Amino acid sequence: MRAVIQRVTSASVDVEKERVGEIKLGFMCLIGVMDGDTEADAQYIAKKITGLRVFEDNEDKMNLSLKDVGGSVLLVSQFTLAGDARKGNRPSFSTAARPEAAEPLFEKLKTMIEEAGIPVETGRFRTHMEVALVNDGPVTILLDSRREF
């Protein structure tokens, strides 16, 4: 499972001009479910999202988590995170999980984050979405449950 986590002061997602998710301070998380991902991958990503300490404390050090600052999460499924563009100019998405496997894992990830006490908003699975955000910092973290960067 791959995640792009952006610290934001606000983020929203619209589907067909309807606002389906919106947060203020927190994380905008783009989630790519890969073929072969399991609940353990979702657990890894959930633990990282809920535990990341990338908000400034009183000494301007990145030392606070979402819980510490009362933040929320906007989760958006993005199968293109599975894209491999190393050969040619058209990415291959062959490593993306099929929708029938990806959606339950995405929902499990959402539940895990909520169970940690973090409010979660989402986009709408398998739709064209328009995402807007104000990246604070900017701070962007890349996660992959199977690979270290």
Give the residue among 52, 53, 42 at the shortest CA–CA distance from 110: 42
> Does pTM top 0.75 for this prediction?
yes
* Model confidence at 149: pLDDT above 90: no
CA 73 to chain centroid, in Å, comes to 8
Give the model's pLDDT for residue 68.
98
Name the residues annotated as catalytic.
80
Q: Sign of torsion, CA 5 6 8 10?
A: negative
Per-residue pLDDT tens digits for 74-97: 999 999 999 999 999 999 999 999
Give the model's pLDDT for residue 100.
96
Q: What is the mean pLDDT of residues 118-122?
A: 98
